[in-house]
A and B are shown apart, each in its own frame.
Chain A
Amino acid sequence: DTGVSQNPRHKITKRGQNVTFRCDPISEHNRLYWYRQTLGQGPEFLTYFQNEAQLEKSRLLSDRFSAERPKGSFSTLEIQRTEQGDSAMYLCASSFAGREPQHFGDGTRLSIL
């Protein structure tokens, strides 16, 4: 049983660059979530998909952020023109609608130089 897989595990980039993260959910799960976690805080919800439809976006998801799940399987989260404040752990989770809980990947740690 493969769990939620996230790549890369760590991304270091210069301020102003674009970055893209990938999440592969558990295969039978139709819901996919993105969260962001900063030091000393719990994960904060960013957005979620049911199949390929993006059903909800948080206020935290500024217009520099975009997420896709084109075929209802894997998802990508892109951040354009990165800023220092984007430095965080980006977590992906998946679940089967109507059957909780959400299962998390190990995250992608983004460091902005």
Chain B
Amino acid sequence: DQQVKQNSPSLSVQEGRISILNCDYTNSMFDYFLWYKKYPAEGPTFLISISSIKDKNEDGRFTVFLNKSAKHLSLHIVPSQPGDSAVYFCAASEGTGRRALTFGSGTRLQVQP
């Protein structure tokens, strides 16, 4: 039973355009959400996070939106750059004290020059 789902295995965008990566979750106890980026042969690198008390968090070119009623979050990258090409993982955790992360299966983003 996948509690965090990333339904698009891959996404291709042109340099300078917006990249939108989507993530859905089923566990209503999740209250903290994160996006990680992963290059080949490296571990996941933290990008941005959002608490369930917010609906938007922005950090430079990266913005995460949370829609709790739809159990949906998205990551917007504007403008997209070739160096953003990587696999992006959505992750979630529930409750204070329990911070084990549940990950989606990832979306491979390719930014074309």
Contacts and interface: CB of A to CB of B under 8 A. Distances in A.
Contacts of B4: 42
Secondary structure class of chain A's binding surface, majority of residues: strand
Interface in B20-57: 32, 34, 36, 41-46, 49
A67 interface: no
A110 to B, nearest CB: 15
B23 to A, nearest CB: 11
Interface residues of A, number: 25
Given A42-B89, A101-B46, A56 B104 contact: no
B43 A42 contact: no
Given A45-B101, A91-B43, A100-B49, 13 more contacts: A40-B106, A42-B4, A42-B103, A42-B105, A42-B106, A43-B44, A43-B103, A45-B102, A58-B100, A91-B44, A102-B46, A102-B101, A107-B43
Interface of B: 4, 32, 34, 36, 41-46, 49, 89, 91, 98-106
